[in-house]
Structure 1
Amino acid sequence: MTQVAQVKLVEASDLPEYPISAESRLDSHYFMPFNHDRYDRSDFRRKAYRDPEVGFFGMELFFKSHGEAPLGTLPSDDDSLAFLLGLPLDRWISLKERAFNPLYNWHPVRCDNGAIRLAHPVVQEVMEAALRGHLEHKASNEDKAVYARRKRLIEVLRDIGCSEDLCSDELAVAWVDDWLLKHHPGQRRMPQFQASIGRALKEAVSEGIVGRPRRAP
């Protein structure tokens, strides 16, 4: 038993690291890109014609992996894989023992949470692209939210009598907005919001943000 454990430990240390964190989430990831031309030319499809049962469960594993953690991976033990597919353990093992089996091209990897799981190069590629798209979309939405919030702040600054020079100063408006995010939690309602703006502007003056010389455009 000791010898087997040591062999497994050595093997685990040599495994490639999976690049997607176990903490990454794609809560709205309800569909996946599918490159049908690539699939048409794949060895998996060609082999699946010879054993459609393996082909079906192999595709099921592709789809199931998108809901796992880390994204795009599978558990490495037979009990978990059988449960994932809704199969009795003995039936799963019989599928796995075939020369062409549902784990075709899956390989063990080490994840950032210490787990040893299975990864597939194409599934990993799809998941990394999905994460990039998710982060870019999130960043775009955050940028839009910041723009809208600062636009409303400029309107309030004008309403309470601040100079046009201040309202057109993007650096000063951004500084005041950041200060308000830290020191004025909750909704931006008058008169509390005006009082917070007054404190923010007072500190902005003391920090040299408001009233500083500005470069000509």
Structure 2
Amino acid sequence: MGVPKVNLVEAAELPDYELGDLRLENHFFVAWHFSRWLNSAMHLCATYEVQGVARALFDIAQMQSPTGTLPDDDVQLSRLLRLDIIRWRELRAMDFGPLRGWFRVRCGDRVRLAHPVVIEVLQDALARREERERAAGERAVAMRLKRLREGLRALGVNDRTLDDTVLVERMDKWLLDHVSGQRRVSAYERVLMVARQEGWFGRPAHY
């Protein structure tokens, strides 16, 4: 038999899903800690059939909405696993069944299933993604400033001025705010004119 449906009162008492309405795009990889798995109660006590289904559920949860959750519904779960529903319910009813460790959470107005290890792995994936994006952002800024200096040098700006990081970053910000698309010579000429008009160079000798 499937797990009884949760009524409204019971649903209100459930914890909210820790990761909220998480929807990851281009999400193709999470770390798999094989040592942890091989020493887990699931690996040591469950049948190999159950272990395979449990592992599949970990992966299926990565593609669900919110990311990291599963539907709390036997029909949907059996179809996601491509299992006959009778066999799925037999596996689920085992002491060491494939849903061991999963618990009900609220996802908005829905009740779904979450697992602490899946949440932990997703938190690690999010942290890694943020670090990659930060590093990529820093590299992009460095390349943009490098091209800006090269463009200004081609217009006759001296190295002393180009070594003024505050000035160059200020000019870069102006270009970000006022020039869309690829920066051409005309864009560098415009920002030079603005810099002179606004007195960004300080003393005239800087340019």
Tell me the TM-score range normalised by the shorter chain: 0.7 to 0.9
Unaligned runs of 5+ in 2: none
Normalising by the residue count of structure 2, what TM-score does the alignment of the two structures yield? 0.83
Structure 1 residue 204: deviation in Å? Answer: 4.7
CA distance change for structure 1 residues 99 and 203 in 2, over 3 Å: closer, same or farther?
A: farther
State the match for 1:78 in structure 2: 74
2:183, 2:91 → 1: CA distance? 61
Normalising by the residue count of structure 1, what TM-score does the alignment of the two structures yield? 0.80
Q: Deviations over 1:84-133 (max 9, x none)?
A: 1112333322322333321100001223x543321111111111111111
State the match for 1:175 in structure 2: 170
Structure-to-structure mapping, 1:4-153, within 5 angstroms: 8-30=7-29, 32-48=30-46, 51-111=47-107, 113-153=108-148
- Structural RMSD (CA): 2.5
CA distance change for structure 1 residues 9 and 65 in 2, over 3 Å: closer, same or farther?
A: same
Over the matched positions of the two proteins, sequence identity in percent amounts to: 35
8 Å Cα contact 1:180/1:200 also seen in 2: no
Q: Residue type matched to 1:129 in 2?
A: D
Structure 1 residue 28: deviation in Å? Answer: 4.8
Query: Number of paired residues?
Result: 200
1:160, 1:115 → 2: CA distance? 61
Is structure 2 residue 202 aligned with structure 1 residue 211?
A: yes
Structure 1 residue 185: deviation in Å? Answer: 0.2
Residue 146 of structure 1 aligns to a residue whose secondary structure is: helix
Q: Residue type matched to 1:155 in 2?
A: E
Structure 1 residue 149: deviation in Å? Answer: 0.5
State the match for 2:182 in structure 1: 187
State the match for 1:215 in structure 2: none
Is structure 2 residue 153 aligned with structure 1 residue 154?
A: no
